[in-house]
């Protein structure tokens, strides 16, 4: 297949490109040369490159910045995805859109399934849901992949931040009531590449197996990096004010991918390998 990856310089886009190059013809675009909010530029790039499938990773992912500037988040995640979907529909290209656990409200006690009702509670979640809806409404041949708490080797993420704060401050305060599935880019990229060759269109929850709180996650990071002596104070989201309001309980269940034999390993195993690397 000929793959066009939007956001190819980012954490996930670059990992997909790295893994895909042995079996696929990989091209892509990223800022400043490729801007998903520019409809004519998107259409021209796809017409010139003629991809079989577009893997749409480019996004506004800073959830607190999205809360401060909802219009920009919607313009990029919503209307930018509309541009991608329109170009794919017009040129008969498959599209895979990367979405988020934050399209759910977190008011549940069971992990979310692919067909559960969405109900975002913050601007980032609303903007990602808008991207889902544009993809579904415009592009007949689409995949929507929801994931959560993504960690890759490059860029800023929770795993790096916990180690940094532990070393700088000698103690941590981490919330116990935000729960989701830690997911690692190397595993997510592999799963995505397995999905697109099935041509089984629809919604997928692709996350590493298992879930935990931010507090439990931080404890495991310290344990695996010989920092268990660093004290962690358990706090709640109410004790940690921030611009965005994250949903409290948003683990995702992989039903649709598992039905195709596509499963991701447990998050603790993936974390251990990530830290070893």
Percent of the chain at pLDDT > 70 equals 100
User: Which residues on adjacent β-strands are paired with residue 204?
Assistant: 145
Predicted local confidence at residue 22, as pLDDT: 95
Predicted local confidence at residue 156, as pLDDT: 79
| pLDDT for 155 beyond 80 | no
| Sign of the torsion formed by the C-alpha atoms of 93, 8, 153 and 183 | negative
Question: What is the average pLDDT across 113-127?
Answer: 98
- Residue in the structure block whose two tokens are 């939007």: 6
Predicted local confidence at residue 82, as pLDDT: 98
Give the Cα separation of 97 and 78 in Å (integer). 11
Question: One of 74, 97, 112, 124 is an active-site residue; which one?
Answer: 124
pLDDT in tens, 15-29: 999 999 999 999 999
| pLDDT for 153 beyond 90 | no
Predicted local confidence at residue 92, as pLDDT: 97
- Mean residue pLDDT across the chain: 97
Predicted local confidence at residue 277, as pLDDT: 82
pLDDT in tens, 25-76: 999 999 999 999 999 999 999 999 999 999 999 999 999 999 999 999 999 9
Predicted local confidence at residue 154, as pLDDT: 75
CATH code of the region 2-156+181-209+250-265: 3.40.50.720
Radius of gyration in angstroms for the set of CA atoms belonging to the chain, rounded to a whole number: 18
Give the Cα separation of 77 and 120 in Å (integer). 14
Predicted local confidence at residue 105, as pLDDT: 98
Question: What is the average pLDDT across 87-106?
Answer: 98
Give the Cα separation of 6 and 76 in Å (integer). 12
Distances (CA, A) of 197 to 24, 128, 154: 11, 24, 27
Please say if 215 is a catalytic residue: no
């Amino acid at each position: 297949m000929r793959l066009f990856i939007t956001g190819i310089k980012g954490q996930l886009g670059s990992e997909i490109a790295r893994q895909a190059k042995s079996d696929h013809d990989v091209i892509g675009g990223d800022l400043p040369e490729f801007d998903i909010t520019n409809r004519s530029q998107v259409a021209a790039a796809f017409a010139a490159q003629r991809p079989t499938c577009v893997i749409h990773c480019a996004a506004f992912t800073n959830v607190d910045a999205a809360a401060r500037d909802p219009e920009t988040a919607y313009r990029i995640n919503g209307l930018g995805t509309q541009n991608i979907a329109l170009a794919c529909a017009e040129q008969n290209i498959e599209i895979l859109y990367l979405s988020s656990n934050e399209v759910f409200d977190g008011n549940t006690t069971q992990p979310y399934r692919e067909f559960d009702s969405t109900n975002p509670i913050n601007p980032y979640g609303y903007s990602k849901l808008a991207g889902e809806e544009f993809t579904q409404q415009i592009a007949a041949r689409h995949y929507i992949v929801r994931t959560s708490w993504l960690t890759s080797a490059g860029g800023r993420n929770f795993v790096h931040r916990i180690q940094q704060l532990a070393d700088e401050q000698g103690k941590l305060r981490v919330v116990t009531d935000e729960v989701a599935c830690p997911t690692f880019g190397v595993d997510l990229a592999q799963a995505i590449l397995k999905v697109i060759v099935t041509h089984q269109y629809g919604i997928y929850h692709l996350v590493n197996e298992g879930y935990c709180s931010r507090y439990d996650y931080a404890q495991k990071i310290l344990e695996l990096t010989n920092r268990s002596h660093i004290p962690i104070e358990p706090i709640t989201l109410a004790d940690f004010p921030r611009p965005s309001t994250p949903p409290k309980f948003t683990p995702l269940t992989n039903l649709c991918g598992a039905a195709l034999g596509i499963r991701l390993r447990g998050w603790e195993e993936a974390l251990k390998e990530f830290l070893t690397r």
